[in-house]
């Protein structure tokens, strides 16, 4: 099926990683190490989207930030840290949550999106906006000592909704938010996420791969996820054809 | 026939902390029933009245059972079942 409007930034496979513009949704435990890895890989532009401020309890795993950054907006602190590490990198800050009102325009301005949000509503919003804009995305999440990263191509097949369908109600997912996450776990998951992202940018056939990490055993597994035939987003008869704000109304799974 | 079932973190409170358990059954559905007998409450976290809950994915080896035979998916000796719940955090 058509992936919707061709991404405004152009074809990532012709651009490759060095010319690429990558949007990070969430500059926290996953976004920080992912940003460092992307900068090291030589991408051209990183967009940072987050409305949070740095807190002391973030510092153990949100490795772009130091004590002097506590109280700063995360995107500003991250931009400062990245400028010091990679002066040639173009960093654009978007001090906002990703919202139904801004999602499509933000994602379509990039070659690829890294989704490291801490709540399901944003994950599904990113999935929908990226598919509608024809932008590949790698979704990642980590809770306690487990994490996952899923590579989604510009036309899905599979996409995030093939795997998880829709925003869960509050009591369906008991371990959100207060469970916390171990620093090294987000580091490994972010590395797997960026590995998939760079492969996508390089044109490698990793779309549909799900990496899962179990920090207790140290096992990092990759498996290919099949597309769901009746997926409402990327299937042949899609029901989701636009960003409808009420779709993402969900109990907050995290702060 | 006994099958190894890998238990994700959120469900380990029901298995006494075990990350791997064995259960008997010739199909995925039968294994879940045996899991329920050994670890009461686990079926409800995996299934609702329509089948596998949408925020849980059950794999036999590398295959999602949704794309095999669902709960009727037959198991062979040596198969391993893993459970991947949706998580959001980082």
Asked if residue B46 belongs to a domain, the reply is yes
Domain ranges (residues) in chain A? 13-248
User: pLDDT tens, A148-166?
Assistant: 999 999 999 999 999 887 7
Question: A13-248 domain in CATH 3.40.980.10?
Answer: no
Question: Which ipTM value was assigned to this complex?
Answer: 0.75
User: pLDDT tens, B25-84?
Assistant: 999 999 999 999 999 999 998 998 888 887 888 989 878 787 788 999 999 999 999 987
In this complex, the residue of A140, A164, A224 whose CB is nearest that of residue B86 is A164
Q: How far apart are CA B34 and CA B40, in angstroms?
A: 10
Token representation of residue A171 = 């009591």
Does residue A69 contact residue A90 with C-beta atoms inside 8 Å? no
Does residue A197 contact residue A24 with C-beta atoms inside 8 Å? no
pLDDT value, residue A5 = 38
Chain B residues within 8 A (CB-CB) of chain A?
8-10, 19, 53-55, 57, 59, 62, 64, 66-67, 84-90
Cβ of A254 and B89 within 8 Å?
Answer: yes
The total number of structural domains that make up chain B: 1
CB-count burial class (<10 Å; 0-12, 13-18, 19+) for A78: buried
pLDDT value, residue B10 = 78
CA A28, distance to chain mean position in Å, is 11
Q: How far apart are CA A108 and CA A121, in angstroms?
A: 19
Asked if residue B21 belongs to a domain, the reply is yes
Whether the CB of A177 is below 8 Å from some CB of chain B: the reply is: yes
CATH code (residue B75): 3.10.20.30
pLDDT value, residue A169 = 61
User: pLDDT tens, A164-201?
Assistant: 877 666 555 544 445 678 888 999 999 999 999 999 99
For the entire predicted model, the pTM comes to 0.85
User: Which residues constitute the domain of residue B21?
Assistant: 2-85
Residue B13, number of CB atoms within 10 A of its CB: 14
Whether the CB of A254 is below 8 Å from some CB of chain B: the reply is: yes
Asked if residue B90 belongs to a domain, the reply is no
What residues contact A215, with CB distance under 8 A and at least 6 apart? A144, A145, A146, A147, A182, A184, A185, A188
């Amino acid at each position: 099926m058509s992936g919707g409007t061709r991404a405004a930034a152009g074809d990532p496979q012709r651009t490759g990683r060095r010319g690429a513009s990558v949007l990070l949704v969430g500059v926290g435990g996953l976004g920080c190490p992912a940003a460092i890895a992307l900068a090291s890989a030589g991408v051209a532009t990183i967009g940072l989207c987050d409305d949070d401020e740095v807190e002391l309890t973030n510092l153990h795993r949100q490795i772009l930030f130091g004590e002097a950054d506590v109280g700063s907006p995360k995107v500003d602190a991250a931009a400062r840290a990245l400028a010091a590490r990679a002066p040639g990198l173009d960093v654009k800050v978007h001090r906002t949550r990703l919202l139904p009102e801004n999602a499509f325009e933000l994602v379509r301005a990039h070659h690829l999106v890294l989704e490291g949000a801490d709540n399901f509503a944003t994950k599904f919003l990113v999935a929908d906006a990226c598919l509608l804009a024809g932008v590949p995305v790698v979704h990642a999440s980590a809770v306690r000592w487990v994490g996952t990263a899923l590579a989604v191509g510009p036309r899905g097949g599979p996409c995030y909704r093939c795997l998880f369908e829709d925003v869960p109600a509050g009591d369906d997912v008991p371990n959100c938010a207060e469970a916390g996450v171990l620093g090294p776990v987000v580091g490994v998951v972010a590395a797997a996420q960026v590995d998939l992202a760079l492969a996508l940018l390089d044109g490698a056939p990793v779309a549909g791969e799900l990496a899962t990490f179990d920090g207790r055993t140290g096992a990092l597994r990759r498996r290919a996820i099949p597309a769901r035939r009746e997926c409402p987003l990327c299937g042949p008869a899609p029901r989701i054809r636009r960003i409808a704000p009420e779709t993402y109304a969900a109990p907050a799974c995290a702060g | 026939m006994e099958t190894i079932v890998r238990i994700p973190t959120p469900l380990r409170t029901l298995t006494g902390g075990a990350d791997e358990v064995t259960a008997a059954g010739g199909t995925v559905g039968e294994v879940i029933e045996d899991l329920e007998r050994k670890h009461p409450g686990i079926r409800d976290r995996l299934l609702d009245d329509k089948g596998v809950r949408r925020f849980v994915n059950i794999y036999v080896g590398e295959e999602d059972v949704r794309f095999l035979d669902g709960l009727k998916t037959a198991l062979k000796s040596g198969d391993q079942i893993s459970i991947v719940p949706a998580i959001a955090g980082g």
